A and B are shown apart, each in its own frame.
Chain A
Amino acid sequence: MSAVRLLVGTRKGAFILTSEAKRERWQIAGPFFGGWEIYHVKGSPADPNRLYASQSSSWFGQQIQRSNDGGENWAPTGNKFAYDGALETDQWYDGTQHPWEFKRVWHLEPSLTDPDAVYAGVEDAALFRTINGGQQWHELPGLRSAKGHLWQPGAGGMGLHTILLDPTNPSRMFIAISAAGAFRTDDAGQSWNPINQGLKSPFQLPDPAAEVGHCVHRIALHPSRPRVLFMQKHWDVMRSDNAGESWYEISGNLPTDFGFPIDVHAHEPETIYVVPVKSDSEHFPPEGKLRVYRSKTGGNEWEPLTKGLPQRDCYVNVLRDAMAVDTLDPCGVYFGTTGGQVYASASAGDRWAAIVRDLPAVLSVEAQALP
């Protein structure tokens, strides 16, 4: 690998950050789609120059942009996300049933093998797929049959924000929804089951161990061990060793177990990263110290990573899709903040430096290692 490309979505446009493999000098291109919210930009594993971007606006709705040349040029593709209609309501804030309404695409997950195939996680929560490069999108409605009438939006909306594809089993994938929980399919999206056993959400759900309704913020896996899942829940960092059949807590010695992102080292399946924030109403680092926490033991034992990160007067947040790793050696770790900084570590988290400090609030970061 000779270069790294970061795809950064922000509140007011997308940015592409590129570097040589040492990850010392970065070029910044953008904004692309200035003025629009870019919830997510992601490249195809099968063709790294094929990029997809979710571009949305409260005024003008949803667009999906596609690039075939690594982000030099973009063109809008299909933007019609029509629910299948088999299930028509979820549970609204007041407890009444509320019609599903499309608001935006939160997350785009290209197929591992086909650059024209992409999954889209949307708000109100549902999963869509294209098999023709984004021209048409079709819902996989079986997901909403998994107790969708009991799902309800959290304060941030009812978004399907995480899509994990099992590299060893094309029929299996995992998704997560705020605030419904985690779900798994073993038949390529036809049918789904909640996988929330072991999650506990006291003060959030009347039954803290309910089958659905948990506010899962993010789940992650290492491609070599897709049965092992890591989760940052609203509160609690969790782990499953059986593809989500059951979960147990691994928050251990974290200063707080509230947070949004979680990610796994590219070469060490037991090394994971989180960014704790103080609480559900104080979305900033404890004590004003921006610290990534790393566990090399698959959880429970965590070490703060602080070198190069602000250790006073820092009150930014790191959102759920705003952390990524690259596949170089040493593993690169990246995250973006609501203050507009994008931090990079070319040493698996030992040392950090800001690539850029003054972007709009960062919504998402993805990393690509390029040949």
Chain B
Amino acid sequence: MIRVVLPYHLRVLAGVQGELQLAVAGDVTQRSVLDALEAAYPVLRGAIRDYATQGRRPLLRFFACQQDISYEPPNAPLPDAVANGAEPLLIIGALAGG
């Protein structure tokens, strides 16, 4: 199972608490994980990836294994530790000052 951590507001929107676990068929990539996430929680469609472009929304980042993988191609394999469930994929909202 793939582990995914959502930011607070998306957990509220999806009605979930804590870390999610997703079954992902085939290669474990940003795209396949997000496809599985949106299939399980349709309310998240458009909230992480832009509807029109399917690109990452600009104020979100993807972290895994202490690395920012936001700029990796969507079809690139995620780190083995994410694929085997040892580490989560973190979806992070950008900091806002104030």
> CB distance A61 to B43 under 8 Å?
no
The docked-state distance in angstroms from the alpha carbon of A258 to that of B56 is 40
> CB distance B13 to A59 under 8 Å?
no
> CB distance B51 to A60 under 8 Å?
no
Q: Within 8 Å CB of B59, what residues of A?
A: 58-59
> CB distance B13 to A80 under 8 Å?
no
> What distance in Å separates the Cβ of B96 from its nearest Cβ neighbour in chain A?
8
From A60, A80, A101, A102, give the contact of B10 (CB < 8 A). Answer: A60
> CB distance A61 to B46 under 8 Å?
yes
The docked-state distance in angstroms from the alpha carbon of A33 to that of B93 is 17
> What distance in Å separates the Cβ of B95 from its nearest Cβ neighbour in chain A?
11
Interface SS majority for chain B: loop
From A35, A60, A101, A102, give the contact of B47 (CB < 8 A). Answer: A60
From B8, B13, B57, give the contact of A76 (CB < 8 A). Answer: B13
> CB distance A35 to B13 under 8 Å?
no
Given contacts A76-B13, A76-B43, A79-B45, contact A61 B52 (CB under 8 A): no
From B9, B43, B46, B94, give the contact of A36 (CB < 8 A). Answer: B9
> CB distance B9 to A63 under 8 Å?
no
Q: Is B72 in the interface zone, CB < 8 Å from A?
A: no
The interface size of chain B toward A, counting residues with CB under 8 Å, comes to 18
Q: Is B36 in the interface zone, CB < 8 Å from A?
A: no
Q: Using a Cβ cutoff of 8 Å, how many contacts connect chains A and B?
A: 43
The docked-state distance in angstroms from the alpha carbon of A36 to that of B8 is 12
> CB distance B46 to A82 under 8 Å?
no
Interface centre among A36, A61, A82 (most CB of B within 10 A): A61
The docked-state distance in angstroms from the alpha carbon of A196 to that of B52 is 33
The docked-state distance in angstroms from the alpha carbon of A60 to that of B13 is 10
Given contacts A35-B9, A58-B59, A76-B13, contact A63 B51 (CB under 8 A): no
> CB distance B43 to A63 under 8 Å?
yes
From B9, B43, B50, B51, give the contact of A57 (CB < 8 A). Answer: B9
Q: Within 8 Å CB of A63, what residues of B?
A: 13, 43, 47
The A198-215 residues at the B interface (CB cut-off 8 A) are: none
Given contacts A59-B94, A60-B57, A102-B52, contact A79 B46 (CB under 8 A): yes
Q: Is B60 in the interface zone, CB < 8 Å from A?
A: yes
Task: Please give 19 more A-B residue pairs, beta carbons under 8 A apart, in addition to A60-B60, A79-B47, A102-B51.
Answer: A35-B8, A35-B9, A36-B9, A59-B7, A59-B57, A59-B59, A59-B93, A60-B9, A60-B10, A60-B47, A60-B57, A61-B46, A61-B57, A63-B13, A80-B45, A80-B51, A82-B51, A82-B52, A102-B52
Chain A residues within 8 Å of B, Cβ to Cβ? 35-36, 57-63, 76, 79-82, 101-102
Q: Could you list 10 examples of A-B contacts with CB < 8 Å?
A: A59-B59, A59-B60, A59-B93, A60-B9, A61-B46, A63-B47, A76-B43, A80-B51, A101-B52, A102-B52
Chain B residues within 8 Å of A, Cβ to Cβ? 7-10, 13, 43, 45-48, 50-52, 57, 59-60, 93-94
